[in-house]
Amino acid sequence: MDAEIKTLASEEIYRNRWMALKEDRILRADGSEGIYSVIEKSDFVVIIALENDEIYVVEQYRYPLNKRTTELPQGSWECSPDAAPEDVAAGELKEETGLSAGKLEYVGYQKLAQGYSAQGYHIYLATQLTFIGQQLDKEEYGLTVKKIKISDFTQLIVNGEITDATSVTAFLLAKAKNMITENS
């Protein structure tokens, strides 16, 4: 199938170690021209760490929102963009929560915001957990971790208190696949 939109020119507007912003001049199938802005970011991982009927969450300050939010542990390795997703998942779990998983199961892959980025994320379910100590990097200053009941996590989503789309989608996908139950 031919692309519905053809790129006529592309210009990088900005780049740092985490992302790049480009602006493309485009030609639509109807012959009209326009611009399309695209954010380029590496894929990342999100980890659902379960212990009995509880799930580990992290709370951290999110600058764009000017508040602390509750989310599932997640991240990427900007310095090692070719690292295997399961290695990143194990590393991010250890870094953010201080946990090592005896079992790490792949849940699936989702796109984050396909209207402006091709970035996606790999979802893992971590069980058989052992605490070995948090290893936060300086970008994670103030991050805290806690366990909450799976039913409470669900209720926080329903109440609009957990609004991180990645956390919500990862959790609901794992539940839909019967990988999470109230008696996990």
Q: Mean pLDDT over residues 124-139, rounded?
A: 90
Q: Mean pLDDT over residues 151-165, rounded?
A: 97
CA-wise closest residue to 45 among 117, 127, 126? 126
Q: pLDDT at residue 68 above 80?
A: yes
pLDDT above 90: percentage of residues in the chain: 86
Contact 67, 95 (CB under 8 A): no
Q: pLDDT at residue 183 above 70?
A: no
- What pTM does this model have? 0.92
| Rg of the chain on CA atoms, in Å | 19
pLDDT value, residue 77: 84
Helix (H) or strand (E) holding 179: none
Structure-derived torsion over alpha carbons of residues 92, 157, 54, 104, reported in degrees to the nearest 10: -40
